[in-house]
């Protein structure tokens, strides 16, 4: 396996050793105190870039932390890795592929293994544009001559999460077409969705890069059968009006019965979880139009340029990625929360879970050795303010340290300032409260002012103390536009890359999902034949119970 990426164990670097010492110096410092000592802190520990204002000053860091983290990035060869990435080298080494989702949003020449890909990319973009325009303006007709009203995206993982997250996030910009996403192999998911649909006015997009994913193929087959059974006029010609596919496996799509002119190709150099910028985003284009999709790409491209060209000290994906390492590897934090103060972004945490955990949940380093330090980030979250009424208790007063990222917008889309001010007041109040906490003295004073006597205060006060010093990063963006969303998503993609490079792992494969797939295939064969005693005692008993019911 040839490797153009550096392979350096981060824990053996000088910076890591210094960070360990530094951690011991800083771990008990209160961020609120650091603010008192340094009047410039909020200004120093922030990045302003286009419509983004990133405030990372409420983190348990100081200037030395930043300096050492940047030194770590340099020692592990992040510069070289970024160059390899942007040069389209084969950095997905274990699958022998380049990683070029960035090429889908950049207008420059892309050469992979000697082939210029810009023409292919442009051709597919043109195909998406003309097809989506016809469907949106109603010229495209179903097999009975009716216009299309509903679009169903059939896919899973990267072939679902990205398009679904984006169309939800950009619902404000949506046209008249109704979008549906079917992902789970749970038949109830597909049948529940089909109940609402008219086959004559529905377009199905089967999205599967490999075209061999069990869930997607099962759902597509069920839907095709439902479609063919819906009327005696429904035949193969009708299928060609209602089924299109996005895939890199053209032969398998054709074998499935979708005609070649209905295929939107993707390529092996686009990873599933980074594919929303490709034809995988067809449902996005159908939902919001090609112009908005292009704005999404443009925002991502601007973030790519920022990532490629900005010094690490002011580089958003680099700094935020390094902060994650600081908490995971030095503070020993188990998880991180992402809290968008924006209901439109309600699928962002689920989308990031695949992006972050499928990419960096690895335990073999780039030299093939078993890793003896933590990698990967467990990521979770929900929109604020709902999150405040669900799990914030644990962030405020639980025993675990959970770095949290707050994302909010200066302007609301419907311009309802009364609501928006309340929403954002909560955002700011929470980050302040998490940092400051409330000490015994403050609790006592508060209770005294409510008229409690000292005996009662003594009993209740321990429960009302907030330790504070809980780290937060605030990402404040002017407005939720396609362009800003593109930049935000690209920022997360590049953070994944940064962290993977520092951890010395391969971020772009996903061998870990294969075992479960294989075993499920074996067990399904047993369920189908009512035969099941080849497993451990627990699995055998579960299967027996299931088959007897």
Q: How far is CA 324 from CA 334, 366, 416, in A?
A: 11, 20, 35
Q: Catalytic residue among 389, 410, 419, 458, which?
A: 389
The nearest distance, CB 207 to ligand F6P, in angstroms, is 6
Answer yes or no whether residue 490 interacts with ligand F6P by CB under 6 A: no
Number of H helices, E strands in the chain: 23, 13
Candidate ranges 40-48, 202-210, 369-377, 440-448; the one touching ligand F6P (CB under 6 A): 202-210
Candidate ranges 3-11, 156-164, 436-444, 469-477; the one touching ligand F6P (CB under 6 A): 156-164
The nearest distance, CB 159 to ligand F6P, in angstroms, is 4
How many beta carbons lie within 10 A of that of residue 448, not counting itself? Answer: 12
Distance CA 166, CA 348 (A): 8
Answer yes or no whether residue 353 interacts with ligand F6P by CB under 6 A: no
Candidate ranges 41-49, 55-63, 208-216, 392-400; the one touching ligand F6P (CB under 6 A): 208-216
Cα 535 to the chain's mean position, in Å? 35
Answer yes or no whether residue 283 interacts with ligand F6P by CB under 6 A: no
Distance CA 530, CA 500 (A): 44
Residue 200 known to be catalytic: no
Answer yes or no whether residue 209 interacts with ligand F6P by CB under 6 A: yes
- State the sign of the Cα–Cα–Cα–Cα dihedral 23, 27, 29, 35: positive
| Strand arrangement of the beta sheet that strand 404-409 belongs to | 46-49, 52-55, 472-477, 404-409, 335-340, 378-380
Residue 358 known to be catalytic: yes
Residue 298 known to be catalytic: no
One residue of 156, 303, 318, 447 binding ligand F6P per CB under 6 A? 156
In the numeric block, which tokens belong to residue 344? 């439109």
One residue of 51, 510, 532, 543 binding ligand F6P per CB under 6 A? 510
Closer to ligand F6P by Cβ: residue 205 or 342 = 205
Answer yes or no: are the C-beta atoms of 354 and 492 closer than 8 Å. no
Q: Catalytic residue among 168, 215, 358, 405, which?
A: 358
Closer to ligand F6P by Cβ: residue 77 or 158 = 158
Closer to ligand F6P by Cβ: residue 208 or 324 = 208
Q: Catalytic residue among 113, 146, 517, 544, which?
A: 517
Answer yes or no: are the C-beta atoms of 405 and 327 closer than 8 Å. no
The nearest distance, CB 265 to ligand F6P, in angstroms, is 13
Answer yes or no whether residue 513 interacts with ligand F6P by CB under 6 A: yes
Answer yes or no whether residue 470 interacts with ligand F6P by CB under 6 A: no
Distance CA 107, CA 279 (A): 16
For 216-274, give the DSSP string: HHHHHHHHHHHHHHT-TT--HHHHHHHEEEEES-HHHHHHHT--GGGEEE--TTS-GGG
Catalytic residue annotation: 358, 389, 517
Chain residues binding ligand F6P by CB under 6 A are: 156-159, 208-210, 213, 216, 272-273, 358, 510, 513
């Amino acid at each position: 396996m040839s490797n153009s990426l550096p392979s350096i164990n981060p824990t053996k670097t000088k910076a890591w050793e210094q960070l360990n010492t530094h951690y011991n110096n800083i771990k008990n410092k209160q961020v609120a105190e650091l603010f008192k000592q340094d009047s410039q802190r909020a200004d120093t520990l922030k990045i302003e870039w286009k419509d983004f204002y990133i405030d990372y000053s409420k983190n348990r860091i100081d200037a030395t932390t930043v300096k050492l983290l940047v030194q770590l990035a340099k020692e592990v060869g992040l510069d070289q890795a970024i160059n390899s990435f942007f040069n389209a080298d084969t950095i997905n080494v274990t699958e022998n592929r380049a990683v070029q989702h960035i090429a889908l949003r950049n207008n420059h020449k892309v050469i992979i293994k000697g082939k210029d890909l810009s023409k292919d990319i442009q051709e597919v973009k043109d195909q998406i544009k003309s097809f989506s325009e016809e469907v949106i303006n109603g010229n495209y007709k179903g097999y009975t001559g009716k216009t299309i009203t509903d679009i169903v995206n059939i896919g899973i993982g990267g072939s679902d999460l990205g398009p679904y997250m984006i169309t939800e996030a950009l619902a404000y910009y949506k046209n008249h077409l109704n979008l549906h996403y079917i992902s789970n192999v749970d038949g109830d998911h597909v049948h529940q969705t089909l109940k609402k649909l008219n086959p004559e006015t529905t377009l199905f997009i089967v999205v599967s890069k490999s075209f061999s994913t069990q869930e997607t193929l099962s759902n597509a087959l069920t839907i095709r059968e439902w479609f063919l059974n819906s009327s005696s006029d429904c035949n193969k010609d009708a299928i060609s009006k209602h089924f299109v596919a996005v895939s890199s496996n053209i032969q398998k799509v054709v074998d499935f019965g979708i005609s070649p002119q209905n295929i939107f190709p993707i390529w092996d150099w686009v990873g599933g979880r980074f594919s929303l910028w490709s034809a995988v985003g067809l449902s996005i284009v159908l939902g919001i139009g090609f112009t908005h999709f292009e704005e999404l790409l443009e925002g991502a491209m601007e973030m790519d340029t920022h990532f490629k060209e900005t010094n690490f000290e002011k580089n958003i994906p680099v700094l935020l990625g390094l902060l994650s390492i600081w908490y995971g590897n030095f503070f020993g934090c188990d998880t991180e929360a992402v809290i968008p103060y924006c209901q439109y972004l309600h699928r962002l945490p689920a989308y990031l879970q695949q992006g972050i955990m499928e990419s960096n949940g690895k335990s073999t380093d780039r030299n093939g050795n078993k890793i003896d330090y933590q990698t990967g980030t467990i990521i979770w979250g929900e929109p604020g303010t709902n999150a405040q009424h669900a799990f914030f208790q644990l962030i405020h007063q639980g025993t675990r340290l959970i770095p949290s990222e707050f994302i909010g917008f200066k302007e609301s889309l419907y311009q309802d300032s009364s609501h928006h001010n309340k929403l954002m007041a909560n955002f700011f109040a929470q980050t302040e409260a998490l940092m400051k906490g409330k000490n015994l003295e403050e609790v006592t004073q508060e209770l005294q002012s409510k008229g409690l006597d000292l005996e009662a205060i003594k009993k209740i006060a321990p429960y009302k103390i907030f330790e504070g010093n809980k780290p937060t990063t605030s990402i404040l963006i002017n407005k939720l536009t396609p362009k800003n969303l593109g930049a935000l998503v690209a920022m997360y993609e590049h953070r994944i890359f940064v962290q993977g490079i520092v951890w010395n792992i391969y971020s772009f494969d996903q061998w870990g999902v294969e075992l479960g797939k294989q075993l499920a295939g074996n067990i399904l064969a047993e369920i189908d034949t009512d035969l099941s005693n080849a497993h451990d005692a627990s699995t055998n008993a579960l299967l027996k119970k299931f088959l007897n019911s």
